[in-house]
Chains A and B, each alone.
Chain A
């Protein structure tokens, strides 16, 4: 049946997906024809985009979109696109991400069919994570991952898979563009769905913070600064009360923060302050924590009195600082 509304293409969604798949199979074979197939994929991805985004000035036809989505699931085109992503043309890679992200947002009533599809095939998610190891597709995979993480089911799958711990390596790679993208994905994973995240951090406390400590001690300034800031956010989130209690009971963590307060970077000092304050504000300080604070009482009071005095406009910071100084002064052995 011709579909004049789609301009040049008179193909039905089923045909479009069939053609796309055939081209992808050619690419997988990797023979002489694959160059041609890469162009073909580029062309069919454009057509797919035309269907799901609509043409200029025209809303997409929901029936066509539904058909297209269904065909995509049936033909298992999504995993093929992701598996062969690195081989596709520059613009095609972006198209894949746009199509993938669009399909993920699709809802039928309360159902999200693409989410259900991916839940049944977690290996697709893991392939996306591994994408961070290939510079030419890292950021594209990152954008798809963050779209997945918006859905709690998919976030949970990713958190509980061993590949989650690869992120501790990805956020430290030397390419800033990749490392910062990995960091925002990592942050989404451990903050987006409060209950799931809190439960994860609580059960995996030792392993997680064992790795996290390395980020806080990283040679890379950006890693250090970002991970310190995120730590502050994690500890101050009420959902993470258990995690916070454990974290601020460990004297090694306190020592690390006190040392970071003396870093030569002012931004790092400032972020460290926001973690340090939690140790001091804790009304039930364990003995070892109280001991360290007491032993350094005079020095801390002096130090804090001169700490970032130029931040005169930040009222909250100044209130907190005054509170900490008072707390430390009033501590009794």
Chain B
């Protein structure tokens, strides 16, 4: 070949003998031979290599992916460098989903059930026409009676405009999501208090002091972002000097990144937030200007808890004029003092708050939360000090208040007192004026006020009969739409004053039997559906037991979106583009819905699916879809892209994957400087309407369990689970693993190889007391303190020093059986939680609190 190279010392000992001193030294001291590597040379050139941009299909934030193809066959998935959310990176689920794409165990054709429901299904293959016609006929039959009795339930929302909005609206169906298992109590608290749909997160570019609260930092993602955007922003913030206080019974997700760990007892976050607030108020870390100007803290409250109103307008005490005035006109709204208005005593809401918060001392909370009082006080003071109340800074030429402290919290909202706990945490940041400040408290990527800001303030508590979601009922005036409660209602409609139950259910990639809590209720209630159609790439456990028809959805091989690619600093939007033709006979969900609405007769014309799509995608002429012609998904996205001002239309996404609009201006990001400030929402420090609901619920005869947490200020009470017998001495928490996504990945072999099976995280001390060795099989038995019911699962003990000794943890995955590869990986902890009074919030959200006992199996 003409290339000089030092070859291996070949042959036998002779070579060694002949090789002289240098070789002798090499022999003695074992120096290594090297082979010259020089000219890059590829012997096998791939025939046709191309790259297709698409998006991740497993996770929440739809990271940009580039599918590398050889002769049209996808051989690997890598990150899109231009996508602001992942900047070319991926989490383990990104590359691993390639096995899901080719998985021969996907549902290959439409399936029609051939055996009775309530057991593992047997199926026959059907044509798309037969399956769609069957579903359409059953939907139509029920819809003609009452559209609300058609229930559409989803587990993931990858194209909200197409599914949640257009499809549900065109049918007039009832929609249920999975948010009540996720973080909806927090969403409601934020919508109600500051008008934003989201949960608490920091302004990572500027935050200096972060309370990572029940937030599994590197494994948990967030309500808007996944495991890539957050950790990267968090690391960059840490490298700039941000400190992290981890408030969590379990340390693992925060790993090496926590500067301080407060291992709080599960379910006591409200008490801790109240104690933090107590210290902030006592130490004078109060941003009076923010509270007086942008919240209702100065509003005058009568002794009965209602606001002082003049002509319907709430009044504050204007210290300058020494009299009541609307907030807008008051030059000096007072936060303290006691006044008389119209001959009746009234005090600013903040004065009441100050009085109430005084009893929630760190010493008190130390007992409740299982922490040290000094530690609570110390963190609160550091928080207050780092808030730098009164300071401002200039961002992109705009002067904005600077409060570089914040809270990151997410799924922790799903606990018995979740709504009020999140409200109390938010109010803690409100005390220092952090919401919407630079470095301060964020909850969304914009300050667009959600309609729930008003709606949750104006709920009309009605008399029965109620709809089966118990909306506007005396039970849950603020109602997140809880599938678990719907199941309970279906089992006993009269108990809840419900007359009509859902008859047809369309499950859109959701698996309530495994991923929702309390399987028993679902199994019993789903047996009552007259017809269930499931849309999913895999046969879910729910479909296995209850689907009449399964419609196979494609995975990466479809058009879907649009999805936001906004990382809270750069605005961008992306589309999923098919990485290859759909495998088997699967189809994209949009195709399925176009066919289904056509077959039901609600595709065309006004109020039809196409018309609803024009509304949800904001397609105006000339880009609006014609209402009399069935488009392809690609055509719809082309209309949408053109309407967005993207000249090349959908082909922009087919070549680039993401459309980057540019950096977000401070006037978009920071509530203080939006126009109007904070999107025009007055922050509800005082929740007058919460008190009103309480009174109305009582008046309509609701039991205390429903109304007790409707208080104008967050108020601590003891937890239902604490009434469990003493032998149930441990708290069970569940959490996410980065390798898995809910119940959707347990059967994906590459991911299952990394996180193969269920386990019980247990402190070695706790385990040894029970004679449990690392790896032993154990029973975990939970107890419902209200009904006395017990449930148990069997798993393996896994020693960890990173968990409170009185708490045990299980990842929130596994427990699947429909796919043979997912079996024998252990149970899901969801099986031993409870649904129902005492185990849910006042907003009809699931609570993940339960007492368990652990014993060797």
To the question of whether A and B form a pair in one complex, the answer is: no
B contact residues vs A (CB 8 Å cutoff): none
Give A residues with C-beta under 8 Å from B.
none
